Structure 1
Amino acid sequence: MHQQDEPRVVLSARGLGKDFFGFTAVNNVDLDVHHARIHALIGPNGAGKTTVFNLLTKFLQPTRGKITLLGTDITNTKPDKIARMGMVRSFQISAVFPHLTVLENVRVALQRPNELAIQFWLPLSSLDRLNGRAEVLIDELGLTPYRDTRAADLSYGRKRVLEIATTLALDPEVLLLDEPMAGMGQEDVRMVADIIREVARHRAVLMVEHNLSVVADICHHVTVLQRGEIIAEGDYATVSQDPRVRTAYMGTED
């Protein structure tokens, strides 16, 4: 049987490190994120997951190492340019406009890739040409029934879905999700997990997530951090059996 080629690497880090006033927060991290795959970054509290996220998205500058996005070295690139190059981060705290409707939020997000963001003198009706793309995004993420609902009136889970919709408006090749399931009930967790799975059909997704049942269910590859270093990687079944991972989470190998 012919073995399918592995999807291309779209984001990689080599020897990534970050020091804060002599303290090493991240040390020698190598990471490969593949197109059309969901890659989880997990580890106990204080493992360095958020710091790695901040390094990859350039909100922090690495002390050492190299980061490559779509074949281009972005180690010294500023964060605003990263988004235009194809990597977008969705933050842990929802970043939508509460008093705008779902449609209006997505239209605002679409302004930037359609070069309307700086044309502030244009009438509001000029955004009408974005309606078609906005409607498609809203439909793809199951938000059509809430199209004219204010973001403030959505459930917590639907707000997170709307936030994903606004990041997808930039049409990223790589989507970084920071604890997308945080604070959700089980029903919302299942809904958002299904949406992330669908989103990843056409782009890479790298996510920090504490809900290990979600990681086991939807992630193709898992990287486990402890004290800023990688202690295991592979599929969930492999890393969950690693004695170092069990010790990191439970404090014992048993």
Structure 2
Amino acid sequence: MTNAVQHQQPESQAVLSARGLRRDFGAFTAVRDVDIDVRHAEVHALIGPNGAGKTTVFNLLTKFLQPTAGSIMLMGQDITRTPPDKVARMGLVRSFQISAVFPHLSVLDNVRVALQRNNHLSYQFWQPLSALNRLNEQAEALLASVGLTRERNALAADLSYGRKRVLEIATTLALDPKVLLLDEPMAGMGQEDIGTIANLIREVAKTRAVLMVEHNLSVVADLCQHVTVLQRGEILAEGDYDTVSRDPRVRTAYMGTEEA
């Protein structure tokens, strides 16, 4: 990406890892003994049927939930008990399933507001947005890199659903994440928007690790180098898409009614 720092990590290196991850809710164990390695310059998919524990794993990795047991490492540092705001500042950034942008700000202003943190600016909302003019060059470059230049002056509320998701990813990239977690980025999209977002994710993953929860198996097959399949909170299978899609346990649990 145009505005991104080139993080020089060996492509085989896991930048986000979990070992023995477990989460109990009372007597119910939602996640049990999950090991995962998310590697630099790869797209890693977390898939499974409804109730498999995918969202819980996401919440544990991003520290919205504390694990009952297990450990989490980010860039070689133990973040198991680190609060979520500090984890985000360390470079682990999550984009949510529901678009989260400021609807009554322009596309450009959404990106400028997002850029302020990495530029060590303390922006107060009672100040005029012109206070962020120093970020215009970075913001314009980022918009160009995700294909939003034509919509720069449009209100975020007026964008189509797919373009809002592109803007959300742009504001996430403004934080210059080392690991980007995407929660169902293709949810509710038409085929044209799916292609746009897939190409954007592929480009993003050239300089950072991407972990995504995704139900669209065609997208997973096309985009992801590694797939982890969850069932009832445990890892059922993992490997590349061809490997897991041929696993009879996966077909029985998840892909029986899907095109593999």
Q: Distance in 2 between matches of 1:217 and 1:121?
A: 45
Determine if the alignment matches structure 1 residue 161 to structure 2 residue 133. no
Determine the structure 1 residue equivalent to 2:235: 230
| Gaps in structure 1 of 5+ consecutive residues | none
1:119 CA drift (Å): 5.5
Determine if the alignment matches structure 1 residue 206 to structure 2 residue 211. yes
Q: Distance in 1 between matches of 2:202 and 2:21?
A: 28
Task: Give the SS at the match of 2:254.
Answer: helix
Determine the structure 1 residue equivalent to 2:7: none
Q: Distance in 2 between matches of 1:73 and 1:170?
A: 21
Determine the structure 2 residue equivalent to 1:39: 44
1:244 to 222, 241, 249: 249
Determine the structure 2 residue equivalent to 1:106: 111
1:50 to 55, 73, 96: 55
Determine the structure 1 residue equivalent to 2:3: none
Q: How does 1:5-20 map to 2 (within 5 A)?
A: 6-20=11-25
2:98 to 59, 84, 93: 93
2:77 to 49, 72, 87: 72
Paired letter, 2:102: F
Q: Deviations over 1:1-26 (max 9, x none)?
A: xxxx7521100000000000110100
Q: Distance in 1 between matches of 2:39 and 2:256?
A: 32
Determine the structure 1 residue equivalent to 2:6: none
Normalised by the size of structure 1, how large is the TM-score?
0.94
Q: Distance in 2 between matches of 1:127 and 1:250?
A: 48
Normalised by the size of structure 2, how large is the TM-score?
0.92
Q: Deviations over 1:185-241 (max 9, x none)?
A: 111011100000001110000000000000000100000000000010000010000
Q: Distance in 2 between matches of 1:86 and 1:226?
A: 29
Root mean square deviation, CA, Å? 1.4
Determine if the alignment matches structure 1 residue 133 to structure 2 residue 157. no
Contact persistence 2:11–2:40 (CA under 8 A): no
Q: Distance in 1 between matches of 2:134 and 2:123?
A: 16
Q: Distance in 2 between matches of 1:213 and 1:121?
A: 45
Q: Distance in 2 between matches of 1:21 and 1:251?
A: 32
Task: Give the SS at the match of 2:235.
Answer: strand
Determine the structure 1 residue equivalent to 2:199: 194
Q: Distance in 2 between matches of 1:91 and 1:149?
A: 22
In the comparison of the two structures, how many residue pairs are matched? 248
Determine the structure 1 residue equivalent to 2:149: 144
Q: Distance in 2 between matches of 1:119 and 1:159?
A: 24
Q: Distance in 1 between matches of 2:99 and 2:254?
A: 28
1:220 to 221, 225, 239: 225
Q: Distance in 2 between matches of 1:123 and 1:145?
A: 24
Task: Give the SS at the match of 1:113.
Answer: helix
Q: Distance in 2 between matches of 1:6 and 1:92?
A: 27
Paired letter, 1:24: T
Moved more, 117-126 or 143-152: 117-126
Q: % of aligned pairs identical?
A: 77
